[in-house]
Amino acid sequence: MIVKKEGSAMTTIDYLAIWSILIGTLIVGIQLIRGKWLMLIAGYNTIGEANRAKVNGRNLGKLVGVYLFFVDLVVLLPIIGIIPENYVGRLIVPATLFVLIFSNVSKLFKR
């Protein structure tokens, strides 16, 4: 666990790690919105062919891709100083709950 001391600034390595993760999730998000790389969605790659035919993978990929864009934005905002760092969890947790509930309840993701 990394403990940040009060008043200490982020180092170059910290910025490099954050930007690498942001770019990686941005690429994955783009591919999911395009309907590619759907096997990266947890649970989608483990269901059988019969059950996979019941799931609209393209719509599920779009939802997860947009969610990744949102997470990227929320992680980027404290770096550029628009929101405080302690707001990140307050924004990501409700969005995650929404995506989980919406993807399981909505008819958009069923065929």
In this predicted model, what pLDDT tens digit does every residue of 13-64 receive, in sequence order? 988 999 999 999 999 999 999 999 999 998 888 989 999 999 999 999 999 9
When pLDDT is averaged across residues 1-5 and rounded to a whole number, the result is: 51
The Cα 102–Cα 96 span in angstroms is: 10
The Cα 81–Cα 84 span in angstroms is: 7
Q: Is the pLDDT of residue 77 over 90?
A: yes
Residue partners of 11: CB distance under 8 A and separation at least 6: none
Residue partners of 90: CB distance under 8 A and separation at least 6: none
pLDDT at 1: 46
Residue partners of 12: CB distance under 8 A and separation at least 6: none
Name the pTM for this structure.
0.85
The Cα 36–Cα 55 span in angstroms is: 15
Amino acid at site 69? F
